[in-house]
Structure 1
Amino acid sequence: MIVSHMSNWEQERSCFPSAISKALEWLGREIGEESPAGKYPIYGDKIYALVQHLTTEPAENRLAEAHREYVDIQLLLRGRELIRVARDTDDQQVWEDERESRDRLSYREVRGESDLKLTPGMFAVFFPMDIHRPCCSLGENMEIRKAVVKIHVSLL
């Protein structure tokens, strides 16, 4: 997992794989807090963005997830968001396996979760072994806007 802020990524650019740098450059140029919700192609089905307008809710109401075929870059555009994170180890229990249809493993309970608090401009990169429970509230539920870029692992 990587956590940073869009104001820092230019200085950190050389540390990122080129596909992640390409996606962050595109986000900085094309997406803002007023961007309409929807799917945005970046590089065919290998890199694309989903702009989402969501409402946070308590962490216990949210499922955690992990992906095997795509890396996620989650950029918060508006609001505040808590994302709970943990490593996907052999002792984590998968609740639902949707790898074939949605490239998603879902988890109800996850051992060893840590809290990641995002404010606008912050982003997190989740790799295939990173379980993440996004869209959790920090105290009160609120409307947020975020962009999630999916990058196929073959590009890394």
Structure 2
Amino acid sequence: MIYGRLDNVDLEQATLPEAVLEGLRFLKETNLENAPEGRIEIDGDRIFASVQDYDTRPAEANRPESHIRYFDIQYVVSGEEAIGFAPLNAGMRAVEDHAEERDILFYDTVAGETSLMMPAGSYAVFYPWDVHRPGCAVAEPGKAVRKVVVKVRVEATP
């Protein structure tokens, strides 16, 4: 997992993998406040983005998830949310496996989960070895969030 602020990318670019930088450049160069909800093509199925508008919910209302073929760059355009995260441990078993059709696995519980506060302008990179629980309320549920999730195929990493 990597956490950062989009306005610091120029300072941090030497420390980030090129595939992550590709996604962050898209986020920096695109007017995301006015982008329509839905999928935005960046480089076919290798890198694409999804613009999402939703209200935060209590953490227990959101399911922890992981991915196999893609890693996520989750960027909060406006609002704020908490994202739970933890390492994917060998003993963890998915309760719903949609890996083939949607590249997502869901879990009931996650040992050692920590909350990451995501104010507007922040991003987090979640790799296939990370479990994450997005869309959680920071203080009270129902706060509007605009988020962009850039999906980067794992084979795209150097």
Q: TM-score, normalised by structure 1?
A: 0.97
CA distance in 1 between counterparts of 2:88 and 2:23 reads 25
Q: Which residue of 1 aligns with 2:2?
A: 2
What stretches of structure 1 of length at least 5 have no aligned partner? none
Give the share of equivalent positions with the same residue, in percent.
38
- Coordinate RMSD, CA, aligned: 0.9
Matches within 5 A, 1:106-145: 106-141=106-141, 142-145=143-146
Deviates more, 1:71-80 or 1:86-95: 86-95
Amino acid at match of 1:52: Q
**Which whole-Å CA distance do the structure 2 matches of 1:51 and 1:79 have between them?**
14
CA deviations 1:65-92 (Å, max 9, x no partner) are 0001001000001111000000000122
Q: Deviations over 1:99-124 (max 9, x none)?
A: 10110110121111001000000000
Give the equivalent residue in structure 1 for 2:75.
75
Q: Which runs of 4+ in 1 moved over 3 A?
A: none
Structure 2 residue aligned with 1:86? 86
Equivalent runs, 1:21-32 vs 2, <5 Å? 21-32=21-32
Contact 1:93–1:110 at 8 Å: present in 2 too? Answer: no
Q: Which runs of 5+ in 2 are unaligned?
A: none
Residue of structure 2 equivalent to 1:60: 60
Q: How many residues align?
A: 156
Return the offset for 1:36.
1.7
SS in 1 for 2:39: strand
Match of 1:148 in 2: 149
SS at match of 2:42: strand
Paired residues of 1:93 and 1:109 also in contact (CA < 8 A): no
